[in-house]
Amino acid sequence: MTGGADAYYGRPVIKPPVWKVPDVPLYLYLGGVAGASSTMALLADLTGRDRLACAGRLAAAVGATASVGALVHDLHRPLRFLNMLRVIKPTSPLSVGSWILAPFSGLAGAAAASQLTGLLPWAGRASATAAGVIAPAMTTYTAVLLADTAVPGWHEVYRELPFVFAGSAVSSAGAVGMLAAPQESAPARRMAVGGAVLELLAARRMDRNAGMVGEVYRQGRAGAVLRAARVLTGVGLGAALLAGRSRVARVAAGVCLNAAAAATRYGIFEGGRESARDPRYTVVPQRPA
Amino acid sequence: MARNRLSGPLADPAGEVGYPADHPERVGFFTDTSICIGCKACEVACKEWNLLPEDGLDFTGMSYDNTEDLSGTTWRHVAFVEQERPTVDLGMPAMGRDSDQVRWLMSSDVCKHCTHAACLDVCPTGALIRTEYGTVLVQDEVCNGCGYCVPACPYGVIDIRPDTGGAAKCTLCQERLGAGSMPACATACPTESIQYGPLDELRARAERRVSELHEQGVTSARLYGHDPDDGVGGAGAFFLLLDEPEVYGLPPDPVVTTRDLPSMWWHAAGAALTAAAMIAGSFLGRKR
Ligand code: SF4
Ligand code: SF4
């Protein structure tokens, strides 16, 4: 038993999250891509890159809608999902998050609808602008959502986690831009590279500062998934640097960076669950020195 | 007042959320495990009163504990700890090996009705509320089963009920309190190991009980969850234990996770601005 002689039959002290796979990891990943894509679309629009703006708007709408879908699907009483908007509670990251996600997905959806139908272009543009301004919050509130729990693997890294998520969101949105708007992909490539670097640096810092619980991100399934994510990020990063000249590199970067972003979310989710299952991670740090 | 919204001592949690000054006194449980006999009358009384379904009849191999854990359908849980340890030889028949004897530790666990309750803080729907008695209650008709409260609780108490999909835990028998009765478990407890009453009174009684036990030579007796300065601002249900908390499956020094929430939001804001700056910076070059 890893719980040490003193734990109660090796049973968990806290309850492991009841959130489901793939719902919640998907929700985390999609929210990130959607957010960063929306800001990318806004800036592309402002700088006259129409194709990139269009790609960003569509990615934002699809990502946000699917993210809402995953969240609702995860509820144990999905018909009551609107209760999420019953109150505004600053102490609840899920309440704050719902109040970010709901307007964002509405605006992103409206922008994409206008883009696709050509109807009400001014309203579409206004929606896209508003969405692009809210969007950066979409890339990091989910980190607070995980960290604001008793789960040692998530709570202990609350300083670094938002930066990991932000980096991963920016690089995956850049990757989407590279895939969808090759002719205007220079800014998207820079996003892919910068985001990947931020993600790798933040993940490294997280690993250093996590203390004892950091081992859940190095061992077992979570460890394997996160190692794969790091390799994918590295390959994607390298490919993005060459993507200006090579189509193969561009596609490889696009695919690898998105796979990496999804794997990062899943690995962190899984590592947190493991840290909740093993009583050691709860008990040992709390024991009087 | 706002200073201690998220953590730290808070004299009147019910008043803090806006109940008028004449709200009832804060009530809670003092569970004195030194006189628990492990009869599980509390578990049964709780299930009966609250109409909770059974969880299956399984052998767990955990001594006499076949209940395993608090859950959405189990709101009292009696832990059984068997410890083999050398004892003074009294020439009496003993269980276990010659020089060792089995010591039994039994403790009836329950929701702590925290002063700063993480479950309540993180609930996005407002389903979890502070009652006029200062306790923490789930309003089942509001809960949408998001499950956020489950990993937020530092004691692993609240859980989603498989049969309803809603979160559930001890209500401190809210409707019995309203009728002037004691909670079912405290009423059923034959040894008064579970004591119910105004929290201040219970805290004073617990201090006396600990000194009494220390005088009798039971130096391992200690209180758990009684201190308003602890990580959850003091528990509404606290305990007298005879060993370290983790031996009973309790966290040694839990802290309400929302204590760090302001810092979490600052870090998230910093990261969001970093992301925004990074995207904007990517558009600075002129190349298409
Ligand atoms: S013990 Fe857990 S479920 Fe009970 S009030 Fe505290 S945080 Fe909520
Ligand atoms: S499961 Fe119900 S009680 Fe728990 S946080 Fe969600 S809405 Fe609130």
Residue (of A157, A187, A146) closest to A32 by Cα position: A146
Residue B87 is predicted with a pLDDT of 57
Average pLDDT over residues A280-289: 93
Residue B154 is predicted with a pLDDT of 98
Q: List all residues 6 or more positions away from A240 whose beta carbon is below 8 Å from its beta carbon.
A: A174, A175, A178, A189, A192, A193, A196, A249, A250, A253, A257
Residue B56 is predicted with a pLDDT of 86
**Which residues in chain A touch residue B117, judged by CB atoms under 8 angstroms apart?**
none
| CATH domain B13-88+98-257 topology | Alpha-Beta Plaits (3.30.70)
Q: Spell out the domains of chain A, with CATH numbers in brackets.
A: 14-284 (1.20.1630.10)
* Alpha-carbon distances, residue B124 vs A50, A92, B89, B266 (angstroms): 39, 6, 58, 20
Residue B86 is predicted with a pLDDT of 65
pLDDT over 70 (residue A1): no
Lowest mean pLDDT among B4-13, B82-91, B140-149, B249-258: B82-91
Residues A186-219 pLDDT 10s: 999 999 999 999 999 999 999 999 999 999 999 9
Residue B84 is predicted with a pLDDT of 82
pLDDT over 80 (residue A4): no
Average pLDDT over residues A121-133: 98
B114 lines ligand 1 (CB under 6 A): yes
B237 lines ligand 1 (CB under 6 A): no
The CA B150 to ligand 1 mean position distance, Å, reads 9
Chain B nearest CA to A114, separation (Å):
24
Lowest mean pLDDT among A18-32, B25-39, B85-99, B225-239: B85-99
Longest Cα–Cα distance of chain B, Å, equals 93
Q: How many Å apart are CA A160 and CA A150, to the nearest integer?
A: 17
| A184 token code pair | 């205007």
The answer to whether the CB of B241 falls within 8 A of the CB of B224 is yes
pLDDT over 50 (residue A232): yes
Which of A77, A144, A191 has the CB atom closest to B265's CB atom?
A144
Lowest mean pLDDT among A43-47, A239-243, B4-8: B4-8
pLDDT over 50 (residue A2): no
- Strands B237-241 and B27-32, by their bridges, are parallel
Q: For a ligand 1 pocket test, name from B74, B110, B113 the mutation site with the most ligand atoms within 8 angstroms of its C-beta.
A: B113
Residue B100 is predicted with a pLDDT of 66
Longest Cα–Cα distance of chain A, Å, equals 68
Query: Atom of ligand 1 at shortest distance to CA of B111?
Result: 4
Q: For a ligand 2 pocket test, name from B111, B122, B125, B153 the mutation site with the most ligand atoms within 8 angstroms of its C-beta.
A: B125
Q: What percent of chain A has pLDDT over 90?
A: 97
**Which ipTM value was assigned to this complex?**
0.96
Residues B97-145 pLDDT 10s: 555 678 899 999 999 999 999 999 999 999 999 999 999 999 999 999 9
The residue ranking higher by pLDDT, A5 or B59, is B59
Chain A nearest CA to B70, separation (Å):
10
Kindly calculate the radius of gyration of chain B based on its CA atoms and give it in whole angstroms.
22
B168 lines ligand 2 (CB under 6 A): no
SS (H, E, C) A40-105: HHHHHHHCCCHHHHHHHHHHHHHHHHHHHHHHHHHCCCHHHHHHHHCCCCCCCHHHHHHHHHHHHH
Residue B1 is predicted with a pLDDT of 40
- Strands B128-130 and B136-138, by their bridges, are antiparallel
- Whether A163 sits inside 8 A of B267 (CB atoms) is yes
- Whether B251 sits inside 8 A of A13 (CB atoms) is yes
pLDDT over 60 (residue B91): no
Residue B2 is predicted with a pLDDT of 47
Residues A91-121 pLDDT 10s: 999 999 999 999 999 999 999 999 999 999 9
Residues B237-262 pLDDT 10s: 999 999 999 999 999 999 999 999 99
| A6: confidence class by pLDDT, cuts 50, 70, 90 | low
Binding residues of B for [4Fe-4S] cluster: 36, 39, 42, 46, 111, 114, 119, 123, 143, 146, 149, 153, 170, 173, 185, 189
Q: What is the average pLDDT value for chain B, to the nearest integer? A: 93
Residue A261 is predicted with a pLDDT of 98
Least distant ligand from the CA of B134: 1
Average pLDDT over residues B177-201: 97
Which of B146, B248, B267 would you mutate first to test chain A, the one with the most A CBs within 10 A? B146
Sheet holding B222-224, edge to edge: B194-198, B27-32, B237-241, B222-224
B149 lines ligand 2 (CB under 6 A): yes
Nearest CA to ligand 2 atom 5: B123
